[in-house]
A and B are shown apart, each in its own frame.
Chain A
Amino acid sequence: MIIDLQRFLDAGRPHWSELETMLTKLETDAGYTLQFDQLRRFYALYQRVSADLARVQTFASEPEICRYLESLTGRAYAEIHETRDRGTRFRLWAWFSQDFPRSFRKHIRAFQLSLLITLVGTAFGAIAVGVDPDAKAAILPEQFSHLAGDPAKRVHDEETRKTDRFNHVKATFASSLMQNNIRVSILTLATGMTFGLGTIVLLFYNGVILGAVAYDYIRAHQTAFLLGWIMPHGVIEIPSILIAGQAGLLIGKTLIGGKERSTLKSRLRAIGPDLLNLIGGASLMLVWAGMVESFFSQVHEPVMPYAAKIAFGFAELTLLCWFLNRRIPREVPAP
């Protein structure tokens, strides 16, 4: 049987156009919501278009009109069956101060694992340099080549330097640090798609570098310099990388599934907002760390006492711990 296409088009077109207008409004205006009567009309139109689609698919085999109705049905279906929050106006501070810590705490075990992997890497790096001092050159990547020399000599050079070597390039240095560290964080997150293996390797390697450098300075009796140099930015930068690792491990855990009974698709869908919160929060923290590293961490004694820099680092760390673990009002579900 073949339907009368002209009559079918004439009868259906007003409804299709009305639905298309409503859909365009809904899709383009994030703040637009339908009133109860409009909602009923919208649903009625969706049903009408669905029925038209079923009819044209069954009887006419007409590809153009079929595609048009499929497109309308698909768009309306997305609006009607979507149960996740519709994007409300984004408020940066509310997101950073509430959503980010909430996601952090929700997946705290992944963060603990991220920390553990980094600590194991740190121990490995320290032991490797302790056993074989030449291992330092092999461990440190090209970008850290300035740390390959004798720590005591570097401290002497820094403390006797008459001019600031970062003078006139501080802002450039800060922005380079920010973008480099954020890239590393994104990579740490993204490699979670290798069932978490890539994330583990990156976290471990970061730990190895940290351990190798720290042991080298401690062995050379330059602990005060090391803490004064690393702590002001490191207490923010290192947790940021750990949080990115937390997100990567979360992806790995979701892919593996374990005892979860839901499907992979629904598990991945569920962690999406938390991944966004974690990587977004870590990136903002790295912006701060980049500025501190460029403008503050590179200033050494006698200009700035190490005690003051270490105290600053402790203050930041305390604040960060409080920020991430403080009591947050419970999330109110959207009506």
Chain B
Amino acid sequence: MNELRIKTPEGVLFSFPLASPIVRFLAWTVDAAVMGALSSITGTCLGLLGVISYDFARAITIIAYFAISIGYGIATEWYWRGQTVGKRLLRLRVVDEQGLRLNFSQIVIRNLLRAVDLLPGFYLFGGVTCLVSSRAQRLGDIAASTVVIRVPSIAEPDLDQLAGGKFNSLRQYPHLEARLRQRISPLEARVLLNALLRRDDFEAAARVNLFAELAGHCRSLVHFPAEATETIADEQYVRNVVDILFRKQQAQR
């Protein structure tokens, strides 16, 4: 299972994609580098206190190093609601296992129990537990009832890609439009929509091939008269089909 699925009492199901151990390890590497940099800067700054008292400067530096090593994860995860610098960069977040609000005690426990995850060295306990656990949890996560999820960028689909409002030759045949909507499955509709939304991500040759294939499939489902289709390219054909599928009210206006 690579998802955290939660069903609300209202019966609505939502899910979060779980972070893999490898990505988590990369985030931890970034955090280790940040902690190293913080310690180095702090050590240099506090070293200036040596002018007043060398003993005092050393004592404060030891405490500062300790506070950074223990407190970095706790402070950042609390301040950024489940994220450290590494997790922000790799778009990860710590969340409660039941989808509830993350509590301070959970953050502290999962960070303190890193001590046992690190044993006997190189995150062996934590790494093995993470690989074995169905929710990719290390021991600290199990104790704190937390999981680490991926937070993909969330954006509404850009429907301008569909060129709404422009002339659509297929709409001249309402009975064929209705047949197309009936014959095409939600999964196929999703493929067509996503192909258009991501058209700029494809290389030119691959894009031509892809839209030729998709248009061919659509044509096999419903045969529109030649005068409606012969002057338009494959990509435009797919665009018109998606327009019909996702903007059916337009025809009724």
Contact = CB atoms under 8 A, between A and B. Distances in A.
A315 to B, nearest CB: 26
Interface centre among A178, A182, A190, A191 (most CB of B within 10 A): A190
Interface residues of B, number: 68
Nearest to B191: A61
B113 interface: yes
Interface in B94-152: 96-101, 103-106, 108-109, 112-116, 119, 139-140, 142-145, 152
Bin the interface of chain A by size: 35 or more
A293 to B, nearest CB: 14
Contact of A190 (B55, B59, B113, B155): B113
Contacts of B66: 175, 178-179, 182-183
Interface string A187-222: 101110110001000000000000000000000000
A82 B106 CA distance: 14
B173 interface: no
Question: Main secondary structure on chain A at its contact with chain B?
Answer: helix
B246 interface: yes
A60 interface: yes
A74 interface: yes
Interface in A24-83: 27, 47, 50-51, 53-54, 57, 59-65, 67-71, 73-74, 77-79, 81-82
B55 A179 contact: no
B13 A47 contact: no
B116 A276 contact: no
Contact of B189 (A27, A53, A61, A82): A61
Contacts of A51: 12
Interface centre among A1, A70, A183 (most CB of B within 10 A): A70
B13 A67 contact: no
B186 A2 contact: yes
A9 B159 contact: yes
Interface string A299-319: 000000000000000000000
A269 B248 CA distance: 49
Given A2-B184, A5-B157, A272-B105, 8 more contacts: A5-B193, A50-B8, A70-B16, A190-B112, A190-B140, A251-B143, A268-B143, A279-B112
Interface of A: 1-2, 4-7, 9, 13, 27, 47, 50-51, 53-54, 57, 59-65, 67-71, 73-74, 77-79, 81-82, 84, 86-87, 168-172, 174-176, 178-179, 182-183, 186-187, 189-191, 193-194, 198, 251, 265, 268-269, 272-273, 275-276, 279-280
Sort A-B residue pairs by CB-CB distance and give the 7 closest, nearest first.
A171-B59, A190-B116, A190-B115, A179-B66, A70-B14, A175-B59, A272-B105
13 contacts: A61-B186, A68-B155, A77-B8, A77-B14, A81-B8, A87-B103, A171-B56, A190-B113, A265-B98, A268-B142, A268-B144, A268-B145, A276-B109
